């Protein structure tokens, strides 16, 4: 049974996320420890180290952080993606830097509201190209992600017009 405090917190979260504008922005260096701590505590896979070309984002409503997203180096080998892009073995390493992987997406507890996830993903997708160029000095051509079908259906990605290319073997 929920306490009155839990009910009020949920109602407050719903109110601010429905009535105030949502903003997305890259995580500042001074916030990286907080990002890692939140991801480790609340994402079922935990946090990832910032290796290679990686951008981390916060989504916020006013000053309240509601979601975290990580874009990291692309998967080294993904047959469905390689076929879709048209990468032969000879060229796939040269083109790998043009792909980034949405390696983590976390909406913080209390902020799961209908359609919010696809809205957040859409806002990130609109700004990542410019952020990537500013940070790494080259553009992205493809965003990829992997969804664990035993936990999720990939609904937010379909709602945001991502294309399902196929399945990968479980490791």
Q: In the prediction, which pLDDT does 131 show?
A: 94
d(C-alpha 24, C-alpha 66), whole Å: 10
Residue 12 lies in a domain: yes
Residue 127 lies in a domain: yes
Q: In the prediction, which pLDDT does 25 show?
A: 94
Residue 170 lies in a domain: no
Residues of the chain with pLDDT under 70: 1, 6-20, 75-96, 145-147, 149, 153, 161-171
Q: In the prediction, which pLDDT does 31 show?
A: 96
Residue 166 lies in a domain: no
d(C-alpha 97, C-alpha 128), whole Å: 14
Q: In the prediction, which pLDDT does 19 show?
A: 63
* Residue range(s) defining the domain that contains residue 48: 4-159
Show Cβ contacts of residue 168 under 8 Å, excluding neighbours closer than 6 positions. Answer: 78, 79, 80, 146
Residue 133 lies in a domain: yes
Q: In the prediction, which pLDDT does 14 show?
A: 61
d(C-alpha 31, C-alpha 53), whole Å: 18
Residue 171 lies in a domain: no
**Token pair in block for residue 80:** 């469905």
Residue 106 lies in a domain: yes
User: Per the structure, how many domains does the chain have?
Assistant: 1
Secondary structure (DSSP) of the chain: ---HHHHHHHHHHHHHHHHS-EEEEEPPGGGHHHHHHHHHHHSTT------SS-EEEEEEETTEEEEEEEEEEPPS--HHHHHHHT--HHHHHHHGGGEEEEEEEEEPTT---TTHHHHHHHHHHHHHHHHHHHHHSS---EEE----TTT---HHHHHTT----------
Q: In the prediction, which pLDDT does 63 show?
A: 85
* pLDDT tens digit sequence for 17-30: 566 688 999 999 99
- CATH of residue 67's domain is 3.40.630.30
Neighbours of 56 (CB within 10 A): 22
* pLDDT tens digit sequence for 115-138: 787 888 888 888 989 999 999 998
Task: Tell me if the pTM is above 0.75.
Answer: no
Residue 115 lies in a domain: yes
């Amino acid at each position: 049974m929920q306490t009155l405090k839990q009910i009020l917190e949920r109602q407050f979260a719903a109110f601010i996320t429905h009535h105030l504008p949502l903003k997305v922005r890259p995580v500042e260096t001074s916030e990286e420890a907080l990002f890692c701590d939140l991801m480790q505590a609340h994402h079922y896979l935990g946090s990832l180290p910032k290796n290679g070309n990686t951008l981390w984002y916060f989504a916020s409503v006013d000053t309240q952080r509601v979601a975290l997203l990580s874009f990291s180096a692309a998967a080294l080998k993904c047959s469905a993606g390689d076929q879709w892009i048209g990468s032969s073995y000879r060229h796939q390493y040269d083109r790998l830097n043009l792909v980034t992987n949405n390696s983590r997406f976390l909406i913080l507890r209390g902020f799961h509201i209908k359609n919010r996830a696809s809205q957040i993903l859409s806002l990130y997708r609109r700004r990542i190209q410019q952020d990537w160029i500013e940070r790494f000095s080259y553009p992205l051509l493809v965003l990829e992600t992997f969804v664990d079908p035993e936990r999720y259906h990939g609904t937010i990605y379909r709602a945001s017009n991502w294309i399902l290319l196929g399945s990968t073997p479980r490791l």
